[in-house]
Amino acid sequence: MQLRRSRTLVLYWDDGEFTAQDYLTRAAFAVDAPAVELLARFDEWTDPEKVVSAYADEDYDPDSVREAISVLVENGLLREEGADPADETLTRAWADWGTAAQFLHFASRDAEFAVEPAERERVAAEVTRDPAPAPFSSRPGAPRLYLPRAHPPLDAGFSEVLLGRRTHREFAPGPVDLPTLSAVLHYTFAPMHFIDAGRYGTLMLKTSPAGGARHELEAYVAVLDVEDVAPGVYHYRAENHSLELVAEGFDAETAERLTYRQGFGRAAFLCLLTAVFARSMYKYRDPRTYRIMTLNAGHLGQTFVLTCTALGLGPFQTAAFADTEVDALLGVDGVAEGCVYVLGAGRPAEPAGRSGALPRGLDRAGLAPPPEGT
């Protein structure tokens, strides 16, 4: 029999204990330094008796080494040759994304959710022992611009908007007017309704879903070219539909640098989405909640780009941004609150819609549209 260390192990300190977790099986065990050293000897398929002999040469008792090896096998930290090779299959298939992505994805699978009413009540009672984080963020004392409440109509047909949505990187010169920016922010980020959620207090409903209606995402607007708004970085205060000044001045070079030169410096404005992590953690205390938070960002992103399309703007969205620099620009620490997504829009260089690009793309791919009349 030969053994090797599981390929899906990570080791970390947890509440003062050094812990080995197999993120494939989600089993975690406290380990000490001798156990880690023993695991290190099984990097490849190895005859355990060779390891026992090596330890014997170092004056260790062979039976105690065999017992330690047996415990590691029993807990899945060492794998037997011929057993399920799922760990090796996983690390090979996910090699390009590395250990961090593997750990995030697989360690957050199969979360347990309360199903029975009694269990839900127990969880709710435990969660609500502490006060909930504030549902809105603000910048006390910051200069504030109240946005217009009269918005341009969203009267474009639904299918027209869906088919017209494109990611834009080319923009026409000229500003976006303030009522249009106001409409984008209102329909994407403002609360539409409030509900009484019992123990969980008053919760807001927006045009996009959010897990548990926690709505942990905040919007900051980096203005480049909007009528009646000075270039700068603003926090969108959804509570009263206003912009709070965070930093004066924002230019195309800064926008390009922060988004890795994708052409967004020619847009009229960027929306930098941050997560106030405690709002989600308050109710959901499982790693899977991180997935939910990123899904929520995607929901808002889609609402944003569709709203922009309906208003005749050319929207974009990107996950390629300089996290640390963006957080510094917004004045957030990246720990309690940090940027997770960047959106934006401007006047499109050419109208959105179905163009000849799609058939040409099909032709280049070796495909062709069906003949007319079929």
Residues 270 and 159 in one domain: yes
| 355/111 Cα distance (integer angstroms) | 44
Confidence tier at 59 by pLDDT (50, 70, 90) = confident
Q: What is the pLDDT of residue 301?
A: 98
Q: Is the pLDDT of residue 357 over 60?
A: no
Q: 99 exposed, middle or buried (CB, 10 Å; 0-12, 13-18, 19+)? A: middle
- β-partners of residue 3 are 46, 80
CA 333 to chain centre: 17
Per-residue pLDDT tens over the stretch 127-173: 999 999 999 999 999 999 999 999 999 999 999 999 999 999 999 99
Q: Stretch 17-35: mean pLDDT, rounded?
A: 95
Give the pLDDT of residue 367: 66
Q: Both 225 and 339 in a single domain? A: yes
Comparing 60-69, 149-158, 347-356, which segment has the lowest mean pLDDT?
A: 347-356
Q: What is residue 282's DSSP assignment?
A: H
Rounded to the nearest integer, the mean pLDDT of the chain is: 93
Is residue 252 in some structural domain? yes
Q: Is 10 left (phi over 0), alpha (psi -120 to 50) or beta?
A: beta
Q: Look up the domain containing 179 and give its range.
A: 118-346
- Residue 329 belongs to a domain: yes
**Residue 42 maps to a domain:** yes
**End-to-end CA, the chain:** 64
In a domain, 163, yes or no: yes
- Three-state secondary structure call for residue 205: strand
Residues, the chain: 374
Mean pLDDT (whole number) for 48-55: 95
Q: What is the pLDDT of residue 248?
A: 97
Query: Do 248 and 333 have their domain in common?
Result: yes
Residues 45 and 131 both lie in one domain: no
Judge whether 186 lies within some domain.
yes
Residue 371: pLDDT above 80?
no
Average pLDDT over every residue of 86-109: 95
d(CA 68, CA 58): 16
Q: What is the CATH number of the domain that holds 176?
A: 3.40.109.10
Contacts 24+ apart (CB under 8 A), 23-32: 23/102, 23/103, 23/106, 23/107, 24/86, 24/87, 24/90, 24/106, 25/76, 26/106, 26/107, 26/109, 26/110, 27/75, 27/76, 29/75, 29/77, 31/77
| Cα(143)–Cα(27) distance, integer angstroms | 51
Query: Are residues 155 and 82 located together in one domain of the fold?
Result: no
Query: Is the domain of 269 the same as that of 327?
Result: yes
Count: domains in the chain: 2
Determine contact, residues 41/49, Cβ cutoff 8 Å: no
Q: Do 142 and 82 share a structural domain? A: no
Assigned domain for 101 exists: no
Q: 153 and 31 in one domain?
A: no
Q: What pLDDT band is residue 354 in, cutting at 50, 70 and 90?
A: very low
Do 90 and 10 form a contact (C-beta atoms < 8 A)?
no
Q: Report the number of secondary-structure helices (H) and strands (E) in the chain.
A: 13, 14
Eight-class DSSP state of 235: E
Q: Residue 30 belongs to a domain with what CATH number?
A: 3.90.930
The Cα angle at residue 191 between residues 189 and 196, in degrees rounded to 5: 145
pLDDT at 274 over 60: yes
Q: What is the 3-state secondary structure (H, E, C) of 300-350?
A: HHHHHHHHHHHCCCEEEEECCCCHHHHHHHHCCCCCCEEEEEEEEEECECC
Q: Are residues 176 and 321 in the same domain?
A: yes
Label residue 328 left, alpha or beta by phi (over 0 means left) and psi (-120 to 50 means alpha).
alpha
Taking only the tens place, the pLDDT of each residue in 289-335 is 999 999 999 999 999 999 999 999 999 999 999 999 999 999 999 99
Answer whether 275's CB lies under 8 Å from 289's CB: no
- Spell out the residues 6+ positions from residue 64 whose beta carbon is closer than 8 angstroms to its own: none
pTM: 0.89
Residue whose C-alpha is closest to residue 46's, from 27, 73, 17: 73
Tell me, yes or no, whether 354 lies in a domain. Answer: no
**Banded pLDDT at 356 (limits 50, 70, 90):** very low
For residue 220, list its beta bridge partners. 235, 272
Q: How many CB atoms lie within 10 A of CB 367?
A: 9
pLDDT in tens, 205-228: 999 999 999 999 999 999 999 999
Residues 259 and 302 in one domain: yes
Judge whether 147 lies within some domain: yes
pLDDT at 348 over 50: yes
Q: Is residue 332 domain-shared with residue 260, that is, in the same domain?
A: yes
pLDDT, position 355: 45
Distance, in Å, from the CA atom of 122 to the CA atom of 190, rounded to the nearest integer, reads 32
- Does 185 share its domain with 226? yes
Is the confidence at residue 194, as pLDDT, over 90? Answer: yes
pLDDT the model gives residue 372: 72
